Structure 1
Amino acid sequence: MYYGFDIGGTKIEFGAFDTTLTRVATERLPTPLKDYERFVEVIVGQVEKYDQILGCLGHVGLGLPGTERVDDGTLLTANIPSVNGRRLRQDLEQRLKRPVRLENDANCFILSEAWDDSLRDCPSVMGLILGTGFGGGLVYRGEIFSGRNHVAGEVGHMRIPIDAWFWLGDNPPLFQCGCGQQGCLESYISGRGFEGLYCHRYGVSKPAVEIIGDFHTGDPTASDFVDFFIELLAICLGNLFTAHDPHTVVLGGGLSNFEQLYQDLPQRIRRYLLPIAQCPEIRRAKYGATGGVRGAAFLNLQR
């Protein structure tokens, strides 16, 4: 059995999967945000509980919004203070007497998609999350590529490219990012960036869902903004695709549900690629909110 934990700032989702990758158990628990020992006990308790129920010693994988420092194994995560700076993986391995795999939640998301039957044989899959923030992950021949410092795929913290900066106009906003830098892609092409750019451009604050709703009703301001934003997104993705040249790109997060992206992006992105390059296939995530727990479980299935 393969156990996956999708760990967020409010809940921990557990899933158990058999060798056919079919989910056979699920459970949700609140995330202990302040007590590290309690956090460890929750994970250990779930593993031991389902070992007994399923009659096996399951393989354990965790996905969470953070990164394990490669040199000392401590975690860097802003959303789960109880585990920040802790050697969570080593402590769990000591308690459970088995290996534990741990990855960034964006990497788990794209591993889940890449292990779908339709993409299993795809040489390279890039996952991009257009949610509150903007991030991603890279899977090459069925395996996550994390890089030397476990930050490969953290494309949200690349700076906005010069042609995108020009596209922002004569008075471009220099947004502050949560990482402490300015001008990160996350601040412009995420859901938060979508709303911030609309406010900067028109002087009105609106949630993304309302702007998109206005677009669907033919509102001229929303139509103008969507045209502007998709071009900005095409410029930024064109730069990413030139660097990584993925075969397939899977979009997740709230903005990924906006159908207009899939209609417009492939044609627009071509203008920002090398003349010999074709735009990769761009598809919507298949597994949605369940992708994180699937990917965490599949960490132990990488080829």
Structure 2
Amino acid sequence: MRIGIDLGGTKIEGLVLDKDGTERARLRVPTPQTTYEDAITSIVDVVRELERQVGTRCSVGLATPGAISPATSLIKNANSTRLNGRPLHRDIEHALGRDVRMANDANCFAVSEATDGAAAGCQIVFGVILGTGVGGGIAIDGRPITGAQAIAGEWGHNPLPQPRDDERPGVRCYCGRMGCVETWLSGPALRRQFAERTGRDMRATDIAEAALAGDTAAADQMELYCDRLARSLAVVINILDPDAVVLGGGLSRMTQLYNRVPELWKREVFSEPDSIVTLLLPPKYGDSSGGRGAAWLWPDA
């Protein structure tokens, strides 16, 4: 059996999958807000408890924010900043006394949905995280693609494609660049844009619900959001040509995305409109995909 651990900023969630992908145990604990070493201890404790519950030693995969730098083997680009510059992979393996496979959480999301999730059976899958940030991961034949800089799939820190006059130069992203896709498509960005246009402060998913209920201002905002998402994903499709794009994160619950965005990306994708077969799909496993994908980093366990 295989254990998958999803290391988040506020929670550590572990689960056990058997050879058929059936979940056999699950455990969630708060992520320690104290030290890096305490986080290592909590991960080890979760693994030990899950193995106690299922009565056997398991393979271990870990989904983590950020990525392992190919140059230094240290964590980089993690929004849980105390992980940055740390040899997390080495330290977890040392603490557990065994090999551990580790990948970025967005890559694990893509692996999960490509293996036995919404895009099961698809060769090339792009997994999108739309939440407090905008992330992405790539799975090909169910395996994560990391890349030379360990940034494969990081579409959120490219500029918004084909910006209109009122979209230039955009707002400054935390990465230091102007007008990143993340500054247009994250949940906080949608909330900010709607407040600027209407003076109404609403969560992103509430804006989507209001639009479905007939709120004209909300519907206009959602049309802008769908247009920007379509433009941004069209660039990914033109480069990667995936069989499926699976949306994850809190904004994946905005149901209008799945019909409207594929209609809008027809204008942008380098293909005849009737030949665009890439699917835009909601996730099968939602918040559990990170842990499931981490477990599937050991496909033959």
Q: TM-score higher than 0.5 here?
A: yes
| Partner in structure 2 of residue 189 of structure 1 | 185
Contact 2:132 2:188 (8 Å CA) reproduced: yes
- CA distance in structure 1 between the aligned counterparts of 2:11 and 2:117, rounded to whole angstroms: 29
| Partner in structure 2 of residue 124 of structure 1 | 124
| Partner in structure 2 of residue 25 of structure 1 | 25
- CA distance in structure 1 between the aligned counterparts of 2:18 and 2:51, rounded to whole angstroms: 13
- CA distance in structure 2 between the aligned counterparts of 1:50 and 1:231, rounded to whole angstroms: 44
- CA distance in structure 2 between the aligned counterparts of 1:144 and 1:260, rounded to whole angstroms: 29
TM-score between the two structures when normalised by the length of structure 1:
0.91
Q: How big is each residue's C-alpha offset from its partner over 1:118-159, in whole Å with a ceiling of 9 and x where there is no partner?
A: 644311111111212111111111111110121101110111
Equivalent residue runs for 1:41-52 within 5 Å: 41-52=41-52
- CA distance in structure 2 between the aligned counterparts of 1:78 and 1:144, rounded to whole angstroms: 18
Q: How big is each residue's C-alpha offset from its partner over 1:188-213, in whole Å with a ceiling of 9 and x where there is no partner?
A: 02222222222343454332233223
- CA distance in structure 2 between the aligned counterparts of 1:7 and 1:42, rounded to whole angstroms: 10
| Partner in structure 1 of residue 143 of structure 2 | 143
| Counterpart secondary structure, 1:61 | strand
TM-score between the two structures when normalised by the length of structure 2:
0.91
| Partner in structure 2 of residue 236 of structure 1 | 232
| Counterpart secondary structure, 1:301 | coil
- CA distance in structure 1 between the aligned counterparts of 2:166 and 2:82, rounded to whole angstroms: 44
The amino acid across from 2:133 in the alignment is G
Gaps of 5+ in 2: none
| Partner in structure 2 of residue 280 of structure 1 | 278
| Partner in structure 2 of residue 12 of structure 1 | 12
* Pair 279,172 (structure 1): closer, same or farther in 2 beyond 3 Å: farther
| Partner in structure 1 of residue 287 of structure 2 | 289
Equivalent residue runs for 1:193-208 within 5 Å: 193-208=189-204
RMSD, aligned CA: 2.1
- CA distance in structure 1 between the aligned counterparts of 2:91 and 2:79, rounded to whole angstroms: 20
Q: CA deviation at 1:186?
A: 0.6
| Partner in structure 2 of residue 260 of structure 1 | 256
- CA distance in structure 1 between the aligned counterparts of 2:180 and 2:188, rounded to whole angstroms: 12
Q: 2:297 matched to 1:299?
A: yes
- CA distance in structure 1 between the aligned counterparts of 2:232 and 2:55, rounded to whole angstroms: 49
Runs (4 or more) in structure 1 with deviation over 6 Å come to: none
| Counterpart secondary structure, 2:297 | helix
| Partner in structure 1 of residue 69 of structure 2 | 69
| Counterpart secondary structure, 2:174 | coil
Equivalent residue runs for 1:204-215 within 5 Å: 204-215=200-211
Quick check: 32-41 or 7-16, which moved more?
Answer: 32-41
Contact 2:6 2:64 (8 Å CA) reproduced: yes
Quick check: 170-179 or 245-254, which moved more?
Answer: 170-179
Number of corresponding residues: 299
- CA distance in structure 1 between the aligned counterparts of 2:99 and 2:83, rounded to whole angstroms: 18
| Counterpart secondary structure, 1:150 | coil
Identity %: 38
Q: CA deviation at 1:103?
A: 1.1
Q: How big is each residue's C-alpha offset from its partner over 1:30-86, in whole Å with a ceiling of 9 and x where there is no partner?
A: 212332222222222333344444343211111121111112211125443443321
Q: CA deviation at 1:214?
A: 2.4
Equivalent residue runs for 1:144-163 within 5 Å: 144-161=144-161, 163=162
The amino acid across from 2:62 in the alignment is L
Contact 1:60 1:101 (8 Å CA) reproduced: yes
- CA distance in structure 2 between the aligned counterparts of 1:170 and 1:88, rounded to whole angstroms: 43
Equivalent residue runs for 1:86-105 within 5 Å: 86-105=86-105
| Partner in structure 1 of residue 3 of structure 2 | 3
- CA distance in structure 2 between the aligned counterparts of 1:186 and 1:302, rounded to whole angstroms: 36
Gaps of 5+ in 1: none
* Pair 297,143 (structure 1): closer, same or farther in 2 beyond 3 Å: same
